[in-house]
Amino acid sequence: MRVGLTSLFRRAAAASAVAAALPLLALLLQGQDVFAHAHVVRSEPAPGSTLVDAPDRVVIWFTEPLEPSFSEIQTLDSTGARVDNGDSAVDSSDTTVMSVSLGALADGTYTVGWKNVSTVDGHRARGSFVFSVGEASGGAAASLVVEEGLFQSPVEPVVRWLALLGALVAAGGAIFNLAVGTVARRSESPRRLRRLWTRSSLRLSAAALGVFALASAAHLVVQTSVIYEQPLGQAIGGAMVSVVMETDWGRLWLWRAGLIAVAAVVMYAQARAARSSEGGRRRNAEARLMLLSLCLWAGILATLSLTSHAAATTAIRAQAVPNDLLHLWAAAVWVGGLAHLLLLVAVTRQLAGPQRRRTLASVVPRFSLLAGLSLATLVVTGIYGAWAQVTVVEALATPYGRALLAKVAVVGGLVMLGAVNLLWVRPRLSWDDAAGRWLRRLVGVEVAAAALVILAVGFLTALEPARQVASRQGLGQPDSIVFRETVEGTGITLDVEPGEVGSNRFTVLLEDRLGAPIENASEVSVRISYLDSDLGEQVLSASPLGGGVYVVNEARFSIAGPWQAELAVRRPDAFDARTAFRFEVTAGASGSGRIAPSPETGLALLGGSLAALGVVFLAAGMPLGGMFTLRGASVMAPGVVGLLVGAALLFNGVLGGGTTGPTRNPFAPNTESLEIGGRVYYETCMTCHGVAGRGDGPGAAALESPPADLAVHVPLHSDADLFGFVSEGIAGTAMPAFGDRLTDDEIWHVVNYIKTFDE
């Protein structure tokens, strides 16, 4: 028997390795393609813009590739009539771009509405923006705002709940059988228990599989009704086929359906093998089938992770999906294990007192170990998953955030119940019959609470992630952005309103040292630029309103993210004052994801938690005999893997971010930065480049080819390029490398400084 068990574990280890490789393989096969809720990056015409000439098409760039069959742009005039030619199409060479051609537009205000379908979690995204042509006629824009419910369909959370519950109980059953159920199947245990247990655990798993299969079918109907925007009843039929064939979500659904069918066949074979009378051969067949079903469940759970919110979290997809899969497995072990434990406890009631006590006393400790380890895994992977979808504390105020808090609260209760079982019930099992009764009741309550937890998950997976809602609503963001600084004796206050994508108003208040308004500025200009990529610059000049207030009414942010505003104030009677401010522009109503989890933080978080988890597994394996016994080794081996993988990720996340260096200038060109930059420039660069950067410094004459005029050349390059020139020099010219003479910070400051020459 020991030998049989040993080889069983060995094969289980091999099979789980294969199973674990499957989802990673799927990730690789999908390549770098990332799919998520596709929101607007930018558009032409830009949201909120006023054009002199009528455009002949609307082009929108999205954050992700789109499903062509289910994506569309409509353009309406102020009466709500369509003014596009109905030829909305996704670009075939770049599926992130969608456009529609327009008829001849008269002066007026137009509304652009767009919709598309995420290829992964199948969530629909939609939005709209407004632009005007010619003199703003005052005609109101047509309303395209569709009141969207919290859920795409009210039955969706329930369907997801049932599907998940079924999947977890069936998948958890496979593990429970291997790790705990073996005790009940041992040949020294009473024959009656063996037969009863095998039969009833298979029945439970089969019922769970049935629920899973039905709920999955229902999910397809819901999905079809969401994509085609039809009532549920009409969604049944041919449209379902096109969802399955034409969307990535559908193709993964098909994989899942196929695996479910195979799992059903394997279960049937297990039931037959259990009935066969020949001991040795039966045990072999049972072991083989058990491993097969584990592999199948690995695949099925992977299809769930690949259509989860984790898969739709673009920036950190490669970390978030494996994390989600681990979370699912741990949940299966815990929730599925609890359900099967309840069954086993019920089955043992048929045994005589001493036999029952002996069985329970040997089964329950094994389960506690399993439950403890899976709980630790759930907590660790859950923290990462919550961070990936919530990201900022303010986002907890969204429906997603609340559902998450509810889930955590129920889990907390469950943990306490588990502790009572562990500390009070378990030690009494071997001598006290009442303890057995308590065990049954408490595990029953735990199973019910676990079902509640999964219900919360049904809601979570059906809701839009917290960080996206928070991004859109500007949660944790002030209504406008206000900065204050004193430069050259001039008090400058800048107010950016509303600080969202689209048209914004800049208000500049100038005051002298005594707080009196400065009304005689000859020029107040604001230069705005986007920091994460080069979208060019807008230089706007503010007009005086009196009382030291100067305004720019039409400053346009075309995209959400980090922006910089550089202010220059010219006065006849004082030095020029310049400064710069940086701020985050939110997506506003057009809805792209401003709050996004950062991959470096993700790697560090995941690495740290996996390493900690590894230590927990190692510690749990020690009392089982460490590496020298099979049981100890099967707990410690994953611990070693967790520790190694965690350390590698941590190393990557913490150090990887540092070695690449910033690609954007870490310093805004404010007074302090320009002061340092100016000092460095005069000490180091002036000899060649001259006081004003014209290439006429005292040392320039001696050079074969004189330095370029910085005022002309600098604006042609990004900050990162300029950093490179100064740090590494320019090969084949007299421009030296300053990388080892100046610190990185000094170079960034001097880059800021030489950018002030171009006026």
Q: What is the contact surface with ligand HEC in residues (CB under 6 A)?
A: 684-685, 687-689, 699, 703, 705, 707-708, 713-714, 717, 722, 725-726, 730, 733-736, 738, 750, 754
Nearer to ligand HEC, 70 or 753 (CB): 753
Nearer to ligand HEC, 482 or 730 (CB): 730
Output b/e per residue, 682-718; b: 16+ Cβ within 10 A.
eebbbebbbeebbbebeebeeeeebbbbbbebbeeee
Q: Least Å distance between CB 662 and ligand HEC?
A: 18
What is the enclosing helix (H) or strand (E) of 568? strand 561-570
Q: DSSP letter string over 462-505?
A: HSPPHHHHHHHHTTT--SSEEEEEEETTEEEEEEEES-BSEEEE
State which residue has the least CB distance to ligand HEC.
Answer: 685
Q: Least Å distance between CB 748 and ligand HEC?
A: 11
Q: Is 361 exposed, middle or buried (0-12, 13-18, 19+ CB in 10 A)?
A: middle
Nearer to ligand HEC, 202 or 703 (CB): 703
Nearer to ligand HEC, 541 or 733 (CB): 733
Q: Least Å distance between CB 492 and ligand HEC?
A: 27
Q: Strands 577-585 and 537-541: what pairing?
A: unpaired
Q: Which two tokens stand for residue 4?
A: 């049989």
In what side-by-side order are the strands of the sheet with 537-541? 537-541, 523-530, 561-570, 577-585
Nearest to residue 537, comparing CAs of 709, 723, 746, 719? Answer: 719
Q: Is 602 exposed, middle or buried (0-12, 13-18, 19+ CB in 10 A)?
A: buried
In what side-by-side order are the strands of the sheet with 97-101? 40-44, 57-62, 97-101, 89-90
**Cα separation, 195 vs 249, whole angstroms:** 41
Nearer to ligand HEC, 167 or 735 (CB): 735
Nearer to ligand HEC, 554 or 728 (CB): 728
Q: Least Å distance between CB 477 and ligand HEC?
A: 36
**Cα separation, 100 vs 74, whole angstroms:** 8
Q: Are 132 and 110 in contact (CB under 8 A)?
A: yes
Q: Least Å distance between CB 743 and ligand HEC?
A: 12
Q: Least Å distance between CB 737 and ligand HEC?
A: 10
Nearest to residue 268, comparing CAs of 216, 209, 215? Answer: 209
Q: Least Å distance between CB 704 and ligand HEC?
A: 8
Nearer to ligand HEC, 361 or 734 (CB): 734
Collapse the DSSP code of 412 into the 3-class scheme (helix H, G, I; strand E, B; otherwise coil) and give the result. Answer: helix
Nearer to ligand HEC, 57 or 717 (CB): 717
Residues in the chain: 759
Nearer to ligand HEC, 679 or 717 (CB): 717
Phi, psi (5° rounding) for residue 337?
A: -65, -40
Q: Which two tokens stand for residue 58?
A: 């609307």
Q: Least Å distance between CB 700 and ligand HEC?
A: 7
Nearer to ligand HEC, 625 or 729 (CB): 729
Q: Are 47 and 559 in contact (CB under 8 A)?
A: no
Nearer to ligand HEC, 514 or 716 (CB): 716
DSSP label at residue 691: T
Q: Least Å distance between CB 658 and ligand HEC?
A: 24
Q: Least Å distance between CB 563 and ligand HEC?
A: 24
Q: Least Å distance between CB 715 and ligand HEC?
A: 9
